[in-house]
């Protein structure tokens, strides 16, 4: 495998991802955003002190996020490339029973990444405490961190075992079956996560009878969609942020609303929030996301195979030994990071369409404006974040862009 083939595979994976974004992005339709009106709303509804405070918070949060990402890649790069005497002794010990050694390597890497990431997790926690967004005390936060280690360690160990077995048996055809397994994993986690993992961190209760539930059901009936279960989550015991989301597929499909949202939003803001989430259900956006993953996984895994093989040869590692696992961990993380950029572009299009659907469903563009202003203030959102950050990491349109959509609709109402 030469560098041209590796580069070609990487470019091919990006091309497929870009094409998938074009094919899967929903038609936005009206309204045409009104950025002038949006700028006026920002100036009228936010004080300079509020904007500066949100900018300060988000600037620190971005700095912590970038530092955490660099340490993660640095740790994985060190494990993948460093072959000093201690590492060679460790790999030789793991190689005595290669499959069990692969499991130990996968679990160990997962734990090490959690440990190196802990200072940044705590920094983000403290930042949220300082700015009044996080109410969770340190002890429960550390318990969540330990629970997160257990949740990631088990699939990391199993994934390493499967990767080792497939690499040894299939050699150059590794990517074929590995792509199938990764795709199955994506579907299964989407299905099981809401009912297996999420309840480990929060309490999810069916939304009780009352005005909020009646409004959700009324809007769902108007939209003509089956929402599955509607749950209230006790987000307030950790944070003051306001949100709602749709997740799960099939029997696990559910609309989840933060208790903060139910308590703090006005009726028109709540309708706008629910209308947005119903837009996701109406458009089958979770299936859209899974389809994107299924399209990009094969070439992404092929890149992982080629890049991992090149690193193993460079290190003069035994390609059938546990040295494969840290190399795979690095190349997989790199592939996911790069391919999530077009994935986020698709997500922003999907979220913008859901905003438009909310306006169509409720007939209340002002409700969406008020919701976006309220969300930005409650969550200390940067209303217009740096373009590079938004391009790389933004999963939603900016607050400015979402207000512009609502203001564009106001002209036609």
pLDDT for 53-79, tens place per residue? 999 999 999 999 999 999 999 999 999
Q: What does the pLDDT read at residue 342?
A: 97
Is pLDDT of 378 > 80? yes
Is pLDDT of 253 > 80? no
Instruction: Count the domains in the chain.
Output: 1
Mean pLDDT of the chain: 92
Q: What is the pLDDT of residues 169-203, one digit of tens each?
A: 998 899 999 999 999 988 888 877 777 777 888 88
Q: What does the pLDDT read at residue 285?
A: 92
Parent domain of 17: 3-410
Q: What does the pLDDT read at residue 1?
A: 54
Q: What is the pLDDT of residues 93-122, one digit of tens each?
A: 999 999 999 999 999 999 999 999 999 999
Across 305-332, average pLDDT: 94
Q: What is the pLDDT of residues 80-96, one digit of tens each?
A: 999 999 999 999 999 99
Q: pLDDT higher for 280 or 228?
A: 280
pTM assigned to the model: 0.91
Across 264-286, average pLDDT: 92
pLDDT band at 30 (very low <50, low <70, confident <90, very high): confident
Is pLDDT of 209 > 90? no
Percent of the chain topping pLDDT 90: 74
3-state SS record for the chain? CCHHHHHHHHHHHHHHHHHHHHHHCCCCCCCCCCHHHHHHHHHHHCCHHHHHHHHHHHHHHHHHHHHHHHHHHHHHHHHHHCCCHHHHHHHHHHCCCHHHHHHHHHHHHHHHHHHHHHHHHHHHHHHHHHCCCECCCHHHHHHHHHHHHHHHHHHHHHHHHHHHHHHHHHHHHHHHHHHHHHHHHHHHHHHHHHHHCHHHCCCEEECCCCHHHHHHHHHHHHHCCCCCEEEEECHHHCECCCCEEEECCHHHCEEEEEHHHHHHCCHHHHHHHHHHHHHHHHCCHHHHHHHHHHHHHHHHHHHHHHHHHHHHHHHCCCCCCCCHHHHHHHHHHHHHHHHHHHHHHHHHHHHHHHHHHHHHHHCCHHHHHHHHHHHHHHHCCCCCCCHHHHHHHCCCCCHHHHHHHHHHHHCCC
Q: What does the pLDDT read at residue 325?
A: 96
Percent of the chain topping pLDDT 70: 99
């Amino acid at each position: 495998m030469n560098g041209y083939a590796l580069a070609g595979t990487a470019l091919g994976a990006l091309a497929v991802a870009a094409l998938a974004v074009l094919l899967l992005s929903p038609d936005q339709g009206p309204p045409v955003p009104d950025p002038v009106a949006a700028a006026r709303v920002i100036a009228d509804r936010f004080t300079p002190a509020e904007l500066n405070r949100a900018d300060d918070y988000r600037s620190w949060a971005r700095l912590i996020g970038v530092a955490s990402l660099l340490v993660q890649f640095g740790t994985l790069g060190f494990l993948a490339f460093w072959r000093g005497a201690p590492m060679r002794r460790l790999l030789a010990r793991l190689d005595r029973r290669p499959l069990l050694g692969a499991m130990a390597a996968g679990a160990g890497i997962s734990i090490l990444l959690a440990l190196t990431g802990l200072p940044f997790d705590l920094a983000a926690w403290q930042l949220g405490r300082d700015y009044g967004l996080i109410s969770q005390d340190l002890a429960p936060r550390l318990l969540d961190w330990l629970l997160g280690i257990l949740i990631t360690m088990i699939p990391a160990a199993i994934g390493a075992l499967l990767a080792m077995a497939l690499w040894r048996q299939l050699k150059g055809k590794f990517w074929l079956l590995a792509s199938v397994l990764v795709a199955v994993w994506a579907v299964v986690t989407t299905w099981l996560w809401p009912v297996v993992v999420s309840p480990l961190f929060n309490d999810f209760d069916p939304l009780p009878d009352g005005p909020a539930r009646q409004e959700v059901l009324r809007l769902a009936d108007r939209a003509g969609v089956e929402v599955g279960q509607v749950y209230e989550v006790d987000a307030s015991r950790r944070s003051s942020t306001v949100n709602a989301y749709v997740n799960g597929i099939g029997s696990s499909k559910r609309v989840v609303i933060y208790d903060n949202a139910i308590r703090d939003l006005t009726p028109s803001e709540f309708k706008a929030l629910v209308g947005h989430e119903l837009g996701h259900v109406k458009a089958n956006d979770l299936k859209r996301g899974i389809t994107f993953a299924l399209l990009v996984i094969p070439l992404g895994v092929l890149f992982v195979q080629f890049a991992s093989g090149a690193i193993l040869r460079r290190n003069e590692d035994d390609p059938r030994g546990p040295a494969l696992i840290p190399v795979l961990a690095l190349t997989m993380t790199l592939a996911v990071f790069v391919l999530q950029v077009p994935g986020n572009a698709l997500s922003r299009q999907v979220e913008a369409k859901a905003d438009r659907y909310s306006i169509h469903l409720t007939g209340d563009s002002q409700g969406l404006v008020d919701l976006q202003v309220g969300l930005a203030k409650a969550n200390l959102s940067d209303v217009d974040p740096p373009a590079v950050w938004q391009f790389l990491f933004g999963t939603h349109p900016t607050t400015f862009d979402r207000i512009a959509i609502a203001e564009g609709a106001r002209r036609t109402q």
